[in-house]
A and B are shown apart, each in its own frame.
Chain A
Amino acid sequence: MPPALTIALKDLRLFWRDRMALFWSLAFPLMFGLFFGSIFGGDGGDRAAMAVAVVDESDNEGSRAFVQRLRGSASLEVDAVASVEQARAQVRKGERVAYVRIPAGFEDGAIAMFGRDPDAGGVIEIGVDPARTAEQGYLQGLVSQSLFQGLGRSFSDGAAMRRDLDQARRQLARADDGALSPARRAALGTLFDALDDVGRTTPQASPASETAAAPGFGEGMVTMAEVARDERGLPRSPYEITFPSAIVWGLVGCATAFASSLVRERTAGTLLRLQVAPIGRAQLLLGKGLACFFAGIGSAVVLLAIGVLALGVRVAAPGVLAAGIVLAAACFTSVMMIMAVLGKTEAAVAGGSWVILMPLAMIGGGMIPLVAMPSWMLTASTVSPFRWSILAIEGGIWRDLDAGDAAVPFAVLLGSALVLYALAATIYARSRS
């Protein structure tokens, strides 16, 4: 085993037994990710109301009544949108969960329920991401319910119902055989007659139940359109924004923990033993670096695993993510080495670490997410390894960058890791008293 590895393993063991180091490199970043993730936008599951875009292409009395009923539902947050293209785009981008399209020629009430050939158009279209099965079923139920409420109104008003039925009979007569099978035509004719009788015998029927959504009854009235949400390049949950920061905070925790380990060895006198041992100073520094690097990777893997398994954080581009974590860990390892070789006392290193790292973290996206930064701050953040680390890690989590897109953050991280390492090694070589 090379001496650097012997030293690295010893330092990892010490790190593992150091509660403060573990707190700053695991517990604190996790709390950061969870806390900020939960205050930005709550928990994805219990959203207050489902945001739905409504496109009313019919714009008649019936359609307006229908939209009004949709608006009345506490479970929906309905916004009118001018065109179906616009609505589809909104769903794709995740701005709305779904859209409801009311096509031209929509008829509300009994007509809508029975008098219409589903293939003839005028069918309500729900556009939703097929992956979101829960929302899809729920929305379908809500739309059907609103339609049946229209039917209920027809039943409660005999005159309106007879008028609707007459219209339905005329449509039935006009419909050609290709569109409507003879059996269906006969069945509908019988049904209309029966309903006509009901209307006559009970002219003042009691209001029908508002929730008479018999499953299957409104079949053919609603079609589902699949609008795959394009999640590429968009965070799906606040945790996807807070966890890359949390991972970088973990790297910072590791860097500060290991930065003081060299000074601690000096004050404890163990450094003297190591200087006497037949290992070079470069090996010693490399050993510390390896320990910090592996601790950083370990912390990142643990945080990521928690994010993925418990909070649904994606790994959109595993290769980019792995490379991003490795390069970010390397960069912060080099930052650690600079602090380690410059500091003369443990207090100086601890103080110096925070003085150097806090501002870099602040402007680099450690507190305010990069996506929410004002532009001046975004510009300032280019000097911070925090920013490039977050970009690289986000690139693998939700930005879904390919290697080409990620080239800039990767190059910055690798370049600064190498430059800082060389600088640290030079300072260390010269510091020999």
Chain B
Amino acid sequence: MASMIEATALRKRFGSTEAVCGLDLAVARGETFGLLGPNGAGKSTTIHMLVGALVPDTGDVRIDGRRATDPEVRRSIGIAPQELAIYDELTAEENLAFFARVFGIRGERLRERVQWGLEFARLVDRRRDRARSFSGGMKRRLNLACAAVHGPSVLLCDEPSVGVDPQSRNHLFEAIERLASEGCTILYTTHYMEEAARLCDRVGIMDRGRMLAVDTVDALIAAHGGDATVTVELASEPPEGVALPGTRQGRTLAIPSAEPLRTVAELGAAGLQVARLTIERPDLERVFLHLTGRSLRD
């Protein structure tokens, strides 16, 4: 399938900082792609280059096979910047209408799209209130709605969930899932792996301007997550002569295992009395730790 977003060998330097160094990226049509990386990884810089707001030092960007500077292409792009890019002194409705207008939407369709945006952001009953009066979560939803109000086929969301409480976050995810189900190609940056795991078909792991790995979440975990961890808290001292696997700390055992259920069965067969048992599957956090030697968030 042809890529909707394609970047090759992107490079951008700010003074002595290499923000992005030689990044390749291909997002398929209709795919939701997650760009996962810690602060300063170069996610925003990448997005800005993809939409043509920032000129790369070297490398090439194609959206639907064309340059991002092509007005026709621009009409099909929506961006939800990392900052809350809405006008505080305009109402929800006025913000949506303005951003729809600058994308050339007029008349009856303008009214339709503004209504769509208000419903999308769940702000129908606050439509005439100024954005200034909104909570952080409401602003985030409006920020995303303004990016999608003109009905783009490519949507770039730069950390859309920052500072949003779990309930609003859920609304936000549902909204993004709805867009994805309507066929929108979505590039989503975050440093929350749970978000990437929930929303994204594929995830690219980025650090210090480089793409370290790209794949589905499961494949990344399988390739870089390592073993699961079986943690056992013993109810009593183990019988004499039983060799305990893993590392022991008091009565707690931590056992790395590629097949955790089998490990549990073996423990039972050895006659151990278990007070508590947890199996921890490897996650993207572990993938990141494995790839960079650092944790995703400090």
State whether these chains interact: yes
Taking Cβ atoms with an 8 Å cutoff, the residues of A that contact B are: 1, 3, 6-7, 10, 13-14, 17-18, 267-270, 272-279, 432-433
What are the residues of chain B within 8 A of A269 when measuring CB–CB? 81-85
Total A-B Cβ pairs within 8 A: 71
Q: Is B239 an interface residue (CB 8 A)?
A: no
CB < 8 Å: which of B55, B71, B84 contacts A433? B55
- Residues in B neighbouring A13, C-beta threshold 8 A: 89-90, 94
In the bound complex, CA of A305 to CA of B126 (Å): 38
* CA–CA, A117 and B294, complex, Å: 118
Given A3-B102, A6-B102, A10-B90 in contact, is the A268-B77 Cβ separation under 8 Å?
no
A273 and B85 within 8 A (CB): yes
A296-B263 Cα distance, complex, nearest whole Å: 78
Can you offer 16 A-B residue contacts whose CB atoms are under 8 A? Answer: A1-B101, A13-B90, A13-B94, A14-B87, A14-B89, A268-B84, A268-B87, A270-B85, A272-B85, A273-B79, A273-B81, A273-B85, A275-B51, A276-B78, A279-B102, A433-B55
- Shortest CB-to-CB span from A310 to chain B, Å, is 31
Most chain A beta carbons < 10 A, residue from B71, B101, B146: B101
**Which residues of chain A are near B53, meaning CB under 8 Å?**
272, 275-276
Residues in A whose Cβ lies below 8 Å from that of B71: 278
Contact status B85-A276, CB under 8 Å: no
What's the dominant secondary structure at chain A's contact region? helix
Complex CA–CA separation, A125 to B256 (angstroms): 121
| Bound CA–CA A176/B78 (angstroms) | 105
List the 5 shortest-distance A-B pairs measured between CB atoms, nearest first: A269-B85, A269-B83, A269-B81, A278-B71, A278-B74
**Would you call B147 and A273 a contact (CB within 8 A)?**
yes
Given contacts A13-B94, A433-B55, contact A272 B103 (CB under 8 A): no
Q: How far is the CA of A273 from the CA of B79 in the complex (A)?
A: 6
B52: interface (CB < 8 Å): yes
> With the chains together, A10 CA to B103 CA distance in Å?
14
For residue B208, CB closer than 8 A to chain A, the reply is no
For window 36-78 of B, CB contacts with A under 8 Å fall at 48, 51-55, 71-72, 74-75, 77-78
> A17 to chain B: which residues have CB within 8 Å?
89
Known: A10-B87, A272-B48, A432-B55. 7 other contacts (CB 8 A): A1-B101, A10-B90, A13-B89, A268-B84, A273-B146, A274-B102, A275-B51
With a cutoff of 8 Å between Cβ atoms, the chain A residues found around residue B192 in the complex are none
Of B51, B75, B78, B85, chain A has the most CB atoms within 10 Å of the CB of B85
A276 — which chain B residues lie within 8 A by C-beta? 51-53, 74, 77-79
Chain A residues within 8 Å of B75, by CB = 278
